[in-house]
Structure 1
Amino acid sequence: MSTKPKNRDHRGRRRGGPRRSDSPRRPDRPKPPCSICGEPIQDITSALSRPTDGTPVHFDCALQSVTDKLNPGEGEKVIYLGKGSFAVVEHEAYQKRSLKVSRRIDWENLEEISEWRRELRAELK
């Protein structure tokens, strides 16, 4: 048994880690407008690049645009696969947690990184 008194400042933290209040704050960055709806993008980290010009768009606006383009039939649903790709899956397979992809669309061009995304990556490093 240790005779050293417990330090209440360390309660609930991992050893040696900084407190949240000690971590540096990132400067507020401008909120670019979505090139589909025109509203400012509050969380730029969840934005996608528009395939035509590489400008940032809300994830929900991209999903709606893809849904309108793919026009899923009855019993189908559009989902985000990741890395800028969407797909139409059968609804029954989706509920059973197994995916049967009937159509796929690559929304983002992964070979060309948009300027806004390059700046964001530099800030997060």
Structure 2
Amino acid sequence: MSEENRDNSNEQSKKRDGKRRRYRNNRRYQKKDFPICPYCGNSVKDIYTAIASEEGEAPAHFDCIIKQLEKRETLEKDEKICYLGRGSFGIIKTRNGSTMKFFVRKRIQYEKEEKKFDWRKKISNRIKK
């Protein structure tokens, strides 16, 4: 087998290795204008997990909101901040060092329940279908 044929066969085997090819410029994200997170300044691409910021109606990253709450609240040794649902977070404290037994020490209503946000209305129509 000639040198040139070996090079071609190696290239073809690399292409057919069964691995999924990932492209840098994913077409799904190219043409959309994503909202900007008010806390970190990056675009919010996963709008389904976004929560409205306290200051305004803009969607913010879930992790950014958790970080803001950790800065604002004083947490003890066995306490964590978790999402309780419907726009509220809670400070949970574990009992007897077990992760399965806990109680909510403090409830923090982050989003206003009665407020309907435009960006959430758009995605709720997609979810219902």
Equivalence for 2:106: 103
| Mapping for residues 47-58 of structure 1, pairs under 5 Å | 47-58=50-61
1:87 correspondence with 2:90: yes
Unaligned 5+ segments in structure 1 are 1-25
Offset at 1:81?
Answer: 1.1
Write the distance in 2 (CA, Å) between the matches of 1:95 and 1:79: 16
Secondary structure, aligned partner of 2:92: strand
Q: Percent identity?
A: 29
Change (3 A) 1:99 1:35: same
Amino acid in the other structure paired with 2:120? R
Amino acid in the other structure paired with 1:45? Y
Equivalence for 2:4: none
Aligned residues: 100
TM-score, with structure 1 as normaliser: 0.69
Write the distance in 1 (CA, Å) between the matches of 2:99 and 2:61: 29
TM-score, with structure 2 as normaliser: 0.67
Write the distance in 1 (CA, Å) between the matches of 2:116 and 2:96: 33
Higher gyration radius (CA): 2
Unaligned 5+ segments in structure 2 are 1-27
Change (3 A) 1:98 1:69: same
Offset at 1:56?
Answer: 0.3
Spell out, residue by residue over 1:11-56, the C-alpha distance to the aligned partner (whole angstroms, 9 max, x if none).
xxxxxxxxxxxxxxx9964221111111011211000011221210
Offset at 1:93?
Answer: 6.1
Structure 1 contact 93–100 (Cα < 8 Å) conserved: no
Write the distance in 2 (CA, Å) between the matches of 1:121 and 1:109: 17
Write the distance in 1 (CA, Å) between the matches of 2:61 and 2:99: 29
Offset at 1:89?
Answer: 1.2
Amino acid in the other structure paired with 2:73? L
